[in-house]
A = this chain, B = another copy of it.
């Protein structure tokens, strides 16, 4: 955090961009989420499953924190994933209070397929951009990733 570039930013400018960024993000996701219906699972389950697949097995509390959701909510989400045989609860050896939640092979498969479908759909629409425009978009996404990385979760 100490190594950031100087802030030479006009605040109103940031606000105007923030507004349109917010709107664009909403509309992109609204289009894309329809593709996820094909998986037969709801968004909360898919998102939690994604955390499990890409972050590896973790406790219910960690998963709840990662999804910014309270433990009772995550408990129900995991129950749903178990019923669909996409994830499993395993009692932690060494601390019987804890549960290790992990994705099943079936869960990994379903996630990757859904992700593929979603990305292809989105990419099909980005295809109308030129190579240069895609490069701009790529750079902007990198900037956003940086902002998100340094963005404290509290507040």
A residues contacting B by CB (< 8 A) are: 4-11, 13-15, 17-22, 24-32, 34, 47, 68, 115, 118-120, 122-123, 125-131, 133-134, 136-141, 143-145, 147-148, 150-151, 155
Contact = CB atoms under 8 A, between A and B. Distances in A.
For the residues of A in contact with B, the DSSP-based class is helix
Nearest to A150: B128
Contact of A130 (B6, B11, B68, B129): B6
A127 B15 CA distance: 9
B21 A130 contact: no
- Among A18, A20, A31, A139, which residue has the most Cβ atoms of chain B within 10 A? A18
- Give the copy number: 2
Contacts of A133: 143
Given A17-B126, A127-B11, A24 B151 contact: no
Given A13-B138, A18-B119, 13 more contacts: A9-B127, A9-B129, A9-B131, A13-B131, A14-B123, A15-B120, A17-B137, A17-B138, A20-B141, A31-B151, A129-B147, A136-B140, A137-B144
